[in-house]
């Protein structure tokens, strides 16, 4: 039976902090918004050039998916940007084009994401039918050949789970005293890399099945673009500082050594080369565009330690709370803020660390 093919992924969920309180992702995602704003023009241009409408027709509905949508103002503005770009493309075919479709937008995130808030926040004058889709994007989420355009912004850095070996005491890849693979041993790096490859294979396999022939994926990935070393990336800095804070708290006796040893960040800072390799092995998709986003760190707000720290809290709080408990949150993130202030000189010259990829589904 066809429906039995639906693959369930027991992926861990790391949703951003819900609600709209002071530490919520909803209130702490201006950094991501800037990145998005800065890519707006680029995304519009890419869709204009790469979307092959004639091939996609005939269809009276155009399906757009936002993978890892979280909840907040960015969710809707990125989708609207894409919708406008698609609409422009249709309109460019002729002013009275009768084939302009209706739009249905699927907002996807892990099941614990705050969909109630997302639905409550939907723009009242939207030009699309809105739908929520719970589940991990490392598994199938949609029927075969049903999606015209996937979008994902700042979500693909999350692995489906922490590689098991790095938290096993008897494994050569045990990552004692650290919370990630960056500047760790070769074994730990290999374990994280294997997890990344396995996850990305699942991701591309699922999307290739779900995309219509000629359908596009527009991905904004915080990673390690060509010509950048991992240690130059913002992700590296944020994780290094978080690790330093946790180590301080172990020294102070607030957090046990064992707790720290058993905690790792399920994050991977991919490079375009690594992505290209997985896309090639998958075989169903073509990379149309791969561009470094170099303007993310251009604005003043980005150089604000408080903003950085609150963004870090919105992104990491649930993960930290789940493992270390709620009681350490305030102390940890106060420390995090202080460390960011001390390190502001390091933040300043830091290079951009995300890239845009546009992929197209080959004809079946």
CA 106, 43, 32, 238 torsion-angle sign? positive
- In angstroms, what CA-CA distances link 167 with 12, 271, 298? 15, 25, 38
Q: Which stretch binds a second copy (CB under 8 A): 2-10, 29-37, 219-227, 293-301?
A: 2-10
Task: Give whichever of 86 and 314 is closer to a second copy, judged by the CB atom.
Answer: 86
Q: Contact at 8 Å (CB) between 253 and 172?
A: no
Least Å distance between CB 74 and a second copy? 19
d(CA 356, CA 117): 28
- 57 interacts with a second copy by CB under 8 A: no
Q: Which residues pair with 65 in a beta bridge?
A: 106, 150
Q: Contact at 8 Å (CB) between 103 and 62?
A: yes
Q: Which position has the token pair 């199938």?
A: 140
Least Å distance between CB 10 and a second copy? 9
Least Å distance between CB 316 and a second copy? 21
- 285 interacts with a second copy by CB under 8 A: no
- 115 interacts with a second copy by CB under 8 A: yes
Q: Which residues contact 128 (CB under 8 A, 6 or more apart)?
A: 64, 79, 83, 102, 103, 104, 105
> What count of residues does the chain have?
364
Q: According to CB under 8 A, which one of 22, 48, 112, 177 is a site residue for a second copy?
A: 112
Task: Give whichever of 143 and 177 is closer to a second copy, judged by the CB atom.
Answer: 143
Task: Give whichever of 43 and 118 is closer to a second copy, judged by the CB atom.
Answer: 118
Q: Which stretch binds a second copy (CB under 8 A): 71-79, 114-122, 291-299, 305-313?
A: 114-122
Task: Give whichever of 1 and 363 is closer to a second copy, judged by the CB atom.
Answer: 1
Count of chain residues binding a second copy (CB under 8 A): 43
Q: Which residues pair with 306 in a beta bridge?
A: none
- 8 interacts with a second copy by CB under 8 A: yes
Least Å distance between CB 106 and a second copy? 7
- 134 interacts with a second copy by CB under 8 A: yes
148's enclosing H/E stretch is strand 147-153
Give 214-228 as a DSSP string: EEEEEEEEES--TT-
Q: According to CB under 8 A, which one of 124, 227, 253, 349 is a site residue for a second copy?
A: 124
Q: According to CB under 8 A, which one of 54, 58, 60, 94 is a site residue for a second copy?
A: 60
Q: According to CB under 8 A, which one of 41, 48, 49, 111 is a site residue for a second copy?
A: 111
Task: Restricting to residues 86-105, name those near a second copy by CB under 8 A.
Answer: 87, 100-104
Give 277-313 as a DSSP string: HHHHHH-SEEEEEEEEE--GGGSGGGG-HHHHHHHHH
Q: Which stretch binds a second copy (CB under 8 A): 28-36, 106-114, 219-227, 234-242?
A: 106-114
Task: Give whichever of 84 and 343 is closer to a second copy, judged by the CB atom.
Answer: 84
3-state secondary structure of 22: coil
b/e per residue 7-26 (b: at least 16 CB within 10 A)? eebebebbbbbbeeeebbbb
Task: Give whichever of 2 and 363 is closer to a second copy, judged by the CB atom.
Answer: 2
Task: Restricting to residues 139-168, name those near a second copy by CB under 8 A.
Answer: 140-146
- 114 interacts with a second copy by CB under 8 A: yes
Q: Which stretch binds a second copy (CB under 8 A): 37-45, 129-137, 155-163, 346-354?
A: 129-137
- 181 interacts with a second copy by CB under 8 A: no
3-state secondary structure of 176: coil
Which tokens in the block code for residue 33?
């918004």
Task: Give whichever of 4 and 54 is closer to a second copy, judged by the CB atom.
Answer: 4
Which tokens in the block code for residue 335?
């420390």
Least Å distance between CB 184 and a second copy? 35
d(CA 68, CA 217): 14
Q: Residue 191: how many CB atoms within 10 A of its CB?
A: 26
List interacting residues with a second copy (CB under 8 A). 1-6, 8, 60-61, 87, 100-104, 106, 111-112, 114-116, 119-120, 122, 124-135, 140-146
């Amino acid at each position: 039976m066809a429906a039995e093919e639906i693959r369930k992924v027991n992926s861990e969920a790391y949703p951003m902090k819900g609600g709209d309180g002071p530490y919520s992702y909803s209130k702490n995602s201006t950094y991501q918004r800037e990145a998005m704003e800065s890519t707006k023009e680029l995304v519009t241009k890419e869709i204009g050039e790469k979307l092959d409408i004639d091939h996609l027709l005939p269809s009276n509905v155009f399906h757009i998916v936002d993978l890892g949508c979280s909840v907040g103002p960015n969710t809707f503005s990125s989708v609207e940007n894409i919708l406008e770009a698609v609409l422009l493309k249709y309109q460019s075919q002729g002013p009275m084009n009768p084939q302009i479709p209706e739009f249905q937008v699927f907002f996807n995130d892990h099941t614990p994401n705050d969909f109630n808030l997302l639905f409550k926040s939907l723009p009242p004058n939207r030009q699309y039918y809105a739908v929520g889709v719970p589940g991990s994007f490392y598994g199938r989420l949609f029927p075969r050949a049903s999606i015209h355009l996937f979008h994902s912004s700042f979500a693909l850095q999350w692995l489906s789970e922490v590689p098991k070996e790095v938290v096993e005491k008897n494994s050569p890849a045990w990552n004692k005293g650290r919370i990630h693979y960056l500047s760790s041993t070769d074994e730990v790096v290999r374990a994280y890399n294997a997890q990344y490859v396995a996850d990305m294979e699942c991701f591309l396999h699922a999307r290739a099945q779900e995309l219509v022939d000629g359908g596009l994926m527009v991905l904004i990935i915080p990673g390690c673009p060509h010509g950048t070393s991992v240690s130059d990336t913002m992700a590296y800095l944020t994780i290094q500082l978080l690790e330093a804070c946790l180590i301080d708290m172990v020294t102070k006796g607030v957090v046990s050594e064992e707790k720290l040893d058993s905690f790792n960040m399920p994050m991977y800072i991919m490079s375009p080369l690594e992505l290209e390799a997985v896309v090639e092995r998958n075989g169903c998709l073509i990379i149309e565009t791969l561009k470094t986003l170099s303007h993310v760190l251009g604005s003043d707000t980005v150089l604000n330690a408080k903003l950085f720290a609150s963004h870090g809290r919105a992104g990491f709080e649930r993960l930290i709370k789940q493992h270390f408990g709620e009681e350490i949150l305030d102390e940890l993130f106060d420390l995090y803020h202080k460390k960011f202030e001390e390190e502001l000189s390091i933040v300043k010259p830091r290079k951009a660390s995300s890239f845009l990829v546009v992929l197209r589904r080959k004809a079946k």
